[in-house]
Structure 1
Amino acid sequence: MTASEKSLQLVRLAAEAASEKLADDIIAYDVSEQLVITDAFLLCSASNDRQVRAIVDEIEERLRTDAHAKPVRREGEREGRWVLLDFLDIVVHVQHEEDRTFYSLERLWKDCPSISLPESVTQGQSQRSRETSGE
């Protein structure tokens, strides 16, 4: 079993929304073979609590307007360090970069297939990476 087309569409929309709010290290995994509760995880991070909240708000707005999807569960918003958005088909984790490093969710899901993200997302990340490294 692999992630449904609907799940892949939601992942792409959420990744684009996160990228527009300058999220870092945006990656997605097809977890449908490992979990029965969802098809995909989208992970991204931000350098501060305010940016975490902005990314979360943008993802929710984009999925609501473009896919008529609303989260059934939202956790961690008050602290702004690690916000989980559960859309049933996908689960989005937006983490403060310190928490992302500490919890290392990528390590837990590394055996799951990655989901390719839109070029606009991958190009945006590589462009920001070059800018911060001074290239």
Structure 2
Amino acid sequence: MTATDRSQDLINVAAQAAADKLAHDIIAFDVSDVLSITDAFLIASAANDRQVRAIAEEIEDKLREELDVKPVRREGEREGRWILLDYLDIVVHVQHSEERSFYSLDRLWKDCPELPLPADALATRNRPEGARTDAAGNAVAEDES
């Protein structure tokens, strides 16, 4: 079994939303062959707690606006270190970089096929962890000297 087209659509919108808020190391795995509860995981990292929250909020907003879906469960909002958004078809993990390194979900799911992502989301694999954002988690251009 492979992830459905609907799951891929959700992953694409969520990944683009995460990239728009400067998430880094965005990756998606098709977990449908090993889990019966969901088709795919999207994992994204952020440099600080505020950015973790901003990325999760942007993902929720974009999925609601573009695909008219809301998460059935949201966990980790208070701490802001690892926010999980469960959309049944997909589960989104937005993690602080330290949590990402410690829990290593990428290593845990490495045997599952990666799902294709929008170009902006793929580009985040080379984005520096400390990319600048404003208080709302929006990208801030570096001043040119």
- Say whether the fold is shared (TM-score over 0.5): yes
How many residue pairs get aligned? The number is: 130
Query: What SS does structure 1 have at the residue aligned with 2:84?
Result: strand
Residue 8 of structure 1 corresponds to which residue in structure 2? 8
Q: Does 1:84 align with 2:90?
A: no
Partner of 2:111: 111
1:120, distance to aligned residue in structure 2 (A) = 2.3
**Residues in 2 aligned to 1:23 and 1:50: alpha-carbon distance in whole angstroms:** 12
What is the deviation of 1:124? 4.9
Matched residue SS, 1:121:
helix
1:7-42 C-alpha deviation (Å, 9 max, x unpaired): 000000000000000001000000000000000000
Asked if structure 2 preserves the Cα contact closer than 8 Å seen for 1:19 and 1:125, the reply is no
Q: Aligned equivalents of 1:82 and 1:122: distance in 2?
A: 21
Separation (CA, whole Å) in 2 of partners of 1:124 and 1:87: 23
1:31 pairs with 2:31: yes
Say if 2:73 is the partner of 1:73.
yes
| Matched-pair identity in % | 63
TM-score (norm 2): 0.86
CA distance in 1, matches of 2:34, 2:3: 11
Q: State how far apart, in whole Å, the 1-side matches of 2:25 and 2:123 are.
A: 12
1:75 and 1:92 map into 2 onto residues whose CA distance is: 11
Structure 2 unaligned blocks of 5 or more: 132-145
* Distance in 2 (alpha carbons) for counterparts of 1:45 and 1:5: 25
Partner residue in 2 for 1:47: 47
- Shift, 1:55, TM fit: 0.0
Q: CA RMSD in A?
A: 1.4
